[in-house]
Amino acid sequence: MAVSLESLDLPSRPGVYLFRNSDGRVLYVGKAGDLHNRVRSYFASNPDRVMIPELVSNSTHVDCIVTNNPSEALVLERQLIREHKPKYNSRLKDDKSYPFLALTNEDVPRILYTRHPPADARIWGPFPNAGAAKRVVQLLRRHFGIRDCKELLPQGCLSMHIGLCSAPCIDGTGYSQSVAAAAQVLDGSGRQLLETMVVEMESQSAAMDFELAAQTRDLIDSVQITLRQQVISSKYYRDCDALGFASRGDLAVITVLHADAGVVKAQESWPMIHRQDIGESVACFVAEHYANHTPPRLLLSPTPLGEWLEGWLCERRTRPVEVRVPARGDLATLRKLADQNAQVQLERMGNKQSGSLERRAADDAAKLLGYESLEHIVCFDMAQLQGAERVGASVVFNNGRPAKKEYRSYRIKGDALDDLQMMREVVGRWLKRQESWPDLVLLDGGKVHLDTIWKLLKENGVDDRCELAALAKREETLHRRGREPIILDRRGRVLVHARDEAHRYVNTFHRRRRGRVALADPLQEISGLGAKKLQVLMRHFGGRKGIEHAGLEQLTAVPGIGRALAQRILDSRRK
């Protein structure tokens, strides 16, 4: 079933959303500063892009990965597009659409701002805020003297003279320590540098050199922005799974963020029963999950797993598996991001379980009948009056709520005069148009109706596509094949509502049909008397009264009215 606006329950937080089809394939990846509002816009009556209606109709659900800010969402969106290559995304021609910072693997390393970093270089990024990344390069060069020239010049270069390079081409003493310090800043440990810059800014401000203090302030912002962007991408993320955990009562959610090649690539979430001990719940999940998946090289856990489980993971991988509970740095940031996503998924699942009154009614009925779900119910009812105006109708309930756009009414075409055969005809016509199947087909009737329609389903080879039940009005008794009848209580209220709605809808349709018959002109029912001949008669006799009092000879005197037709007109008066 296509994803609907009612099924969405996304948080009002920045992040990335993924439209998926029934096979789990990603059809579209997008970013948002507010996931809740952005995804809802795809269901507007006037979408801003032609592809949106097709995307929505081909998708069955929407996943999300929350991030700390929109900049991280921007990076993650590009990474996921490159990973999944979604059908509805327009991909950039330049696959490396964001810049990187790199330290080359030379004897005298140089720092680069580039979209195409060398394969053997130490890489940081990609960075969505290119301006901030450029300023950080300038800052590192000024503070640590890291060179950026393509070749070493014995006489030095312009950068040396303006204080942006420590001239390792002339004297390389201490240069390796400067490179290590710059790398430490890019790894996210820039606190000491930031503290130094804050003191420098305050000194400049005290000296009333406000212009220089403002420049230093902007550099501090650039460093902070760049360091924050390392949450989504980091040189430490190499074949790494970060486990996030959140719980409420006996319901828990564990989220796994998969990272490799320096970037977060995917997220998966699983609900589970919380054992009131985080260590036990996480250990239970790890043992079950990695029994069917190859463990990663690095596993970030919210709690220690124990030596026996770590040993088992190594056996499963046939290579070492490092299990860490990080407290600081990039790995801790990634682990906390997994916790945030677990909390979001927990809230979504909690809302889905509680939901609206209609959804809860559907869930109650599914639990009462032992079904996995009753998200889609189709109910049939028939109506007639002494064999006249034989009609039928079907109503549809989605998530316990009437889906009136999917209601259908039927005029009986065959000779069937009893409700049983009328229902067989209507359900048979409904079957021929089905591409997807409901959770339950409900009939207004008893055991005889149930057996008759079940035989029809079996004849068409679809008796295993959906559940079938009949609800009799007497004591609200529900009949199902192979099971004892049950009298519905409050838990079955959605079934009673569906049956009553079908009854209301078919009777409304029947009254409308009877009203049309009562208002119909009896002369229009005469064979051979069309609209043109009737108009000639009206003109000749001056109205219906004249036609009613005309005799055979008078009727045949009208142009176009033969004796046989005139006799049928006379016969219609006697009925």
- Return the CATH number of the domain spanning residue range 5-84: 3.40.1440.10
pTM for the model: 0.39
Q: Where in the chain is the domain with CATH 3.40.1440.10?
A: 5-84
Over pLDDT 70: what percentage of the chain?
85
What is the pLDDT at residue 536?
A: 82
User: What is the phi-psi region of residue 554: left when phi exceeds 0, alpha when psi lies from -120 to 50, beta otherwise?
Assistant: alpha
In this prediction, residue 273 carries a pLDDT of 64
Q: For 343-476, where are the E strands, in sequence order?
A: 376-385, 388-398, 401-402, 408-411, 440-444, 467-472
> Is there a contact between 182 and 168 (Cβ–Cβ < 8 Å)?
no
Give me the pLDDT at residue 408, please: 92
Collapsing DSSP states into helix, strand and coil, what is residue 433?
coil
**Where do you find CATH 3.30.420.10 in the chain?**
240-353
CATH number of the structural domain 522-574: 1.10.150.20
The overall longest dimension of the chain from CA atoms, in Å, is 130
As to burial, measured by CB atoms within 10 angstroms (0-12 exposed, 13-18 middle, 19+ buried), residue 21 is middle
pLDDT of 193 above 90:
no
Tens of pLDDT along 442-491? 999 999 999 999 999 999 988 888 899 999 887 889 999 989 999 988 88
**The CATH number of domain 240-353, selected from 3.30.420.10, 3.10.20.30, 3.40.50.2000, 3.40.50.620:** 3.30.420.10
Going by pLDDT thresholds of 50, 70 and 90, the confidence category of residue 386 is low
CA distances from 495 to 361, 363, 401, 433 (A): 9, 11, 11, 24
Q: Stretch 355-372: mean pLDDT, rounded?
A: 82
Greater pLDDT, 71 or 66: 66
Most confident of 169-173, 492-496, 537-541: 492-496
Point out the least confidently predicted range of 130-134, 149-153, 448-452: 130-134
Q: Which residue has the tokens 């079957």?
A: 431
pLDDT exceeds cutoff 60 at 94: no
Lateral strand order in the sheet of 61-66: 26-32, 15-20, 61-66
Cα–Cα nearest to 280, from 254, 241, 315, 311: 254
Q: Which pLDDT does position 449 carry in this prediction?
A: 93
pLDDT at 526: 78
Q: What is the distance of C-alpha 527 from the center of its chain?
A: 58
Given a cut of 50, is residue 92 above it in pLDDT? Answer: no
Give yes or no for a cis peptide into 126 (omega within 30° of 0): yes
Mean pLDDT of 489-505: 90
Class of domain 362-517: alpha beta
Q: Does residue 95 or residue 544 have the better pLDDT? A: 544
Q: Best-predicted range by mean pLDDT among 45-59, 307-321, 422-436, 543-557?
A: 422-436
| 328-335 average pLDDT score | 79
As annotated, the residues of the chain forming the CATH 1.10.150.20 domain(s) are 522-574
96 has a pLDDT exceeding 50 = no
183 or 244, higher pLDDT: 244
Please give the mean pLDDT across all residues of the chain: 80
